Amino acid sequence: MLTPAELDALRVSVQVATAAVAFSLPLAVAAAWLLARFDFPGKTLLDAFVHLPLVLPPVVVGYFLLLLGTKGPLGGWLYEQFGLRLIFTKTGAAVAAAVMSFPLMVRAIRLALEAVDRGLEFAARTLGASRLDVFVTVTLPLMLPGILSGAIVAFAAALGDFGATITFVGNIPGETQTLSLAIYSIAQTPDGEAAALRLVLIALALSLAALAISEWTARRVRRWLGRG
Protein backbone atom coordinates (compact mmCIF):
# COMPACT_ATOMS: atom_id res chain seq x y z
CA MET A 1 0.00 0.00 0.00
CA LEU A 2 1.23 3.46 -0.90
CA THR A 3 1.09 6.27 1.62
CA PRO A 4 -0.80 9.48 0.77
CA ALA A 5 2.53 11.24 0.14
CA GLU A 6 3.61 8.51 -2.29
CA LEU A 7 0.26 8.67 -4.07
CA ASP A 8 0.67 12.44 -4.36
CA ALA A 9 4.09 11.95 -5.96
CA LEU A 10 2.62 9.48 -8.44
CA ARG A 11 -0.26 11.82 -9.25
CA VAL A 12 2.02 14.82 -9.73
CA SER A 13 4.36 12.80 -11.97
CA VAL A 14 1.56 11.70 -14.28
CA GLN A 15 0.06 15.20 -14.41
CA VAL A 16 3.43 16.83 -15.10
CA ALA A 17 4.40 14.31 -17.80
CA THR A 18 1.01 14.57 -19.51
CA ALA A 19 1.11 18.37 -19.51
CA ALA A 20 4.70 18.34 -20.77
CA VAL A 21 3.81 16.17 -23.78
CA ALA A 22 0.64 18.14 -24.55
CA PHE A 23 2.57 21.42 -24.42
CA SER A 24 5.56 20.35 -26.52
CA LEU A 25 3.96 18.04 -29.12
CA PRO A 26 2.81 20.78 -31.55
CA LEU A 27 6.18 22.50 -31.23
CA ALA A 28 7.97 19.19 -31.82
CA VAL A 29 5.99 18.54 -35.01
CA ALA A 30 6.78 22.04 -36.27
CA ALA A 31 10.49 21.71 -35.40
CA ALA A 32 10.73 18.28 -37.02
CA TRP A 33 8.99 19.56 -40.15
CA LEU A 34 11.32 22.55 -40.36
CA LEU A 35 14.48 20.48 -39.88
CA ALA A 36 13.42 17.67 -42.22
CA ARG A 37 11.97 19.62 -45.12
CA PHE A 38 13.83 22.92 -45.37
CA ASP A 39 17.39 24.14 -45.85
CA PHE A 40 18.15 27.59 -44.50
CA PRO A 41 21.04 29.53 -42.96
CA GLY A 42 21.49 28.50 -39.35
CA LYS A 43 19.80 25.11 -39.73
CA THR A 44 22.75 23.33 -38.10
CA LEU A 45 22.65 25.78 -35.20
CA LEU A 46 18.91 25.26 -34.75
CA ASP A 47 19.37 21.49 -34.86
CA ALA A 48 22.08 21.72 -32.20
CA PHE A 49 19.91 23.99 -30.04
CA VAL A 50 16.94 21.60 -30.24
CA HIS A 51 19.11 18.66 -29.13
CA LEU A 52 21.08 20.62 -26.54
CA PRO A 53 19.11 19.26 -23.52
CA LEU A 54 20.34 15.77 -24.43
CA VAL A 55 23.98 16.69 -23.81
CA LEU A 56 23.75 19.44 -21.19
CA PRO A 57 23.64 18.43 -17.53
CA PRO A 58 19.97 18.66 -16.44
CA VAL A 59 20.96 21.02 -13.61
CA VAL A 60 22.34 23.45 -16.20
CA VAL A 61 19.03 23.32 -18.08
CA GLY A 62 17.23 24.02 -14.80
CA TYR A 63 19.52 26.97 -14.14
CA PHE A 64 18.69 28.50 -17.52
CA LEU A 65 15.00 27.92 -16.81
CA LEU A 66 15.39 30.10 -13.73
CA LEU A 67 15.25 32.99 -16.20
CA LEU A 68 11.54 32.18 -16.26
CA GLY A 69 11.35 32.85 -12.54
CA THR A 70 9.75 36.01 -11.26
CA LYS A 71 13.21 37.50 -10.65
CA GLY A 72 14.38 36.77 -14.20
CA PRO A 73 13.79 39.19 -17.09
CA LEU A 74 11.41 36.92 -19.01
CA GLY A 75 9.76 35.42 -15.95
CA GLY A 76 9.30 38.85 -14.40
CA TRP A 77 7.61 40.12 -17.55
CA LEU A 78 5.29 37.10 -17.68
CA TYR A 79 4.34 37.61 -14.04
CA GLU A 80 3.75 41.35 -14.38
CA GLN A 81 1.79 41.13 -17.62
CA PHE A 82 -0.18 37.90 -17.19
CA GLY A 83 0.25 36.92 -13.55
CA LEU A 84 1.96 33.73 -14.72
CA ARG A 85 4.42 32.27 -12.21
CA LEU A 86 6.32 29.15 -13.23
CA ILE A 87 8.98 28.79 -10.55
CA PHE A 88 7.99 26.47 -7.67
CA THR A 89 4.74 25.47 -9.41
CA LYS A 90 3.42 22.34 -11.10
CA THR A 91 3.21 24.27 -14.37
CA GLY A 92 6.90 25.05 -14.07
CA ALA A 93 7.63 21.37 -13.46
CA ALA A 94 5.79 20.55 -16.68
CA VAL A 95 7.86 23.15 -18.55
CA ALA A 96 11.09 21.66 -17.20
CA ALA A 97 10.01 18.14 -18.17
CA ALA A 98 8.93 19.37 -21.61
CA VAL A 99 12.31 20.97 -22.27
CA MET A 100 14.19 17.82 -21.26
CA SER A 101 11.99 15.44 -23.31
CA PHE A 102 11.56 17.73 -26.34
CA PRO A 103 14.63 16.46 -28.28
CA LEU A 104 13.46 12.84 -28.02
CA MET A 105 10.09 13.76 -29.48
CA VAL A 106 11.58 15.85 -32.29
CA ARG A 107 14.00 13.07 -33.22
CA ALA A 108 11.29 10.41 -33.46
CA ILE A 109 8.97 12.65 -35.50
CA ARG A 110 11.78 13.80 -37.79
CA LEU A 111 12.84 10.22 -38.57
CA ALA A 112 9.24 9.32 -39.38
CA LEU A 113 8.88 12.41 -41.58
CA GLU A 114 12.08 11.68 -43.48
CA ALA A 115 10.76 8.19 -44.21
CA VAL A 116 7.60 9.54 -45.88
CA ASP A 117 7.61 9.00 -49.65
CA ARG A 118 7.75 12.48 -51.17
CA GLY A 119 6.32 11.06 -54.40
CA LEU A 120 2.95 10.59 -52.69
CA GLU A 121 2.93 14.23 -51.69
CA PHE A 122 3.87 15.38 -55.19
CA ALA A 123 1.14 13.17 -56.66
CA ALA A 124 -1.45 14.72 -54.37
CA ARG A 125 -0.26 18.20 -55.35
CA THR A 126 -0.60 17.40 -59.08
CA LEU A 127 -4.19 16.30 -58.43
CA GLY A 128 -5.00 19.77 -57.11
CA ALA A 129 -4.61 19.33 -53.36
CA SER A 130 -3.35 22.33 -51.44
CA ARG A 131 -0.26 22.12 -49.23
CA LEU A 132 -2.47 21.96 -46.15
CA ASP A 133 -4.61 19.19 -47.66
CA VAL A 134 -1.47 17.20 -48.53
CA PHE A 135 -0.13 17.58 -45.02
CA VAL A 136 -3.41 16.58 -43.32
CA THR A 137 -4.41 13.72 -45.63
CA VAL A 138 -1.05 12.31 -46.75
CA THR A 139 1.93 13.40 -44.68
CA LEU A 140 0.38 13.43 -41.22
CA PRO A 141 -1.06 9.88 -41.37
CA LEU A 142 2.25 8.52 -42.69
CA MET A 143 4.25 10.16 -39.91
CA LEU A 144 1.70 9.22 -37.23
CA PRO A 145 3.73 6.23 -35.92
CA GLY A 146 6.66 8.54 -35.23
CA ILE A 147 4.42 11.11 -33.55
CA LEU A 148 2.86 8.52 -31.25
CA SER A 149 6.18 6.87 -30.47
CA GLY A 150 7.82 10.22 -29.79
CA ALA A 151 4.99 11.35 -27.53
CA ILE A 152 5.02 8.16 -25.46
CA VAL A 153 8.81 8.06 -25.13
CA ALA A 154 8.78 11.74 -24.15
CA PHE A 155 6.11 10.93 -21.54
CA ALA A 156 8.36 8.25 -20.06
CA ALA A 157 11.34 10.62 -20.08
CA ALA A 158 9.29 13.37 -18.42
CA LEU A 159 8.32 10.96 -15.64
CA GLY A 160 11.97 10.47 -14.77
CA ASP A 161 13.34 13.99 -14.95
CA PHE A 162 15.18 15.06 -11.82
CA GLY A 163 17.91 17.67 -12.28
CA ALA A 164 16.04 20.32 -14.25
CA THR A 165 12.90 19.93 -12.16
CA ILE A 166 14.50 20.22 -8.74
CA THR A 167 16.65 23.17 -9.85
CA PHE A 168 13.75 25.11 -11.35
CA VAL A 169 10.74 24.31 -9.17
CA GLY A 170 12.16 22.68 -6.07
CA ASN A 171 10.87 19.62 -4.24
CA ILE A 172 7.50 20.63 -2.83
CA PRO A 173 5.29 17.68 -1.71
CA GLY A 174 1.93 17.67 -3.46
CA GLU A 175 2.95 20.42 -5.89
CA THR A 176 6.27 19.74 -7.63
CA GLN A 177 7.47 16.53 -5.98
CA THR A 178 7.48 13.90 -8.73
CA LEU A 179 8.40 10.25 -8.35
CA SER A 180 12.08 10.94 -8.91
CA LEU A 181 12.14 13.69 -6.30
CA ALA A 182 10.12 11.59 -3.86
CA ILE A 183 12.60 8.72 -4.25
CA TYR A 184 15.45 11.14 -3.58
CA SER A 185 13.75 12.54 -0.47
CA ILE A 186 12.71 9.18 0.96
CA ALA A 187 16.13 7.66 0.35
CA GLN A 188 17.63 10.38 2.57
CA THR A 189 15.42 9.49 5.54
CA PRO A 190 16.20 6.75 8.08
CA ASP A 191 14.54 3.40 7.27
CA GLY A 192 13.27 4.79 3.97
CA GLU A 193 14.67 1.98 1.84
CA ALA A 194 11.40 0.05 1.59
CA ALA A 195 9.36 3.10 0.56
CA ALA A 196 12.03 4.17 -1.94
CA LEU A 197 12.05 0.68 -3.44
CA ARG A 198 8.27 0.79 -3.88
CA LEU A 199 8.52 4.06 -5.79
CA VAL A 200 11.46 2.77 -7.84
CA LEU A 201 9.43 -0.26 -8.90
CA ILE A 202 6.46 1.95 -9.78
CA ALA A 203 8.69 4.22 -11.89
CA LEU A 204 10.23 1.17 -13.57
CA ALA A 205 6.80 -0.28 -14.34
CA LEU A 206 5.52 3.02 -15.75
CA SER A 207 8.59 3.45 -17.98
CA LEU A 208 8.47 -0.13 -19.27
CA ALA A 209 4.73 0.19 -19.91
CA ALA A 210 5.26 3.42 -21.83
CA LEU A 211 7.96 1.86 -24.02
CA ALA A 212 5.83 -1.25 -24.65
CA ILE A 213 2.80 0.87 -25.54
CA SER A 214 4.97 2.97 -27.87
CA GLU A 215 6.16 -0.10 -29.78
CA TRP A 216 2.70 -1.68 -29.87
CA THR A 217 1.05 1.53 -31.04
CA ALA A 218 3.61 2.10 -33.78
CA ARG A 219 3.10 -1.44 -35.11
CA ARG A 220 -0.69 -1.13 -35.07
CA VAL A 221 -0.59 2.19 -36.90
CA ARG A 222 1.81 0.79 -39.52
CA ARG A 223 -0.51 -2.16 -40.10
CA TRP A 224 -3.49 0.19 -40.36
CA LEU A 225 -1.66 2.35 -42.88
CA GLY A 226 -0.64 -0.75 -44.82
CA ARG A 227 -4.24 -1.93 -45.06
CA GLY A 228 -5.29 1.60 -46.06
Encode pLDDT of 117-126 as tens digits: 888 888 988 8
Encode pLDDT of 58-84 as tens digits: 999 998 888 877 777 777 788 888 888
User: Which domains does the chain carry?
Assistant: 4-227 (1.10.3720.10)
pLDDT at res. 212: 86
The closest of 55, 194, 28 to 111, measured between CA atoms, is: 28
Q: For 70, list phi and psi in degrees, rounded to 5.
A: -65, -20
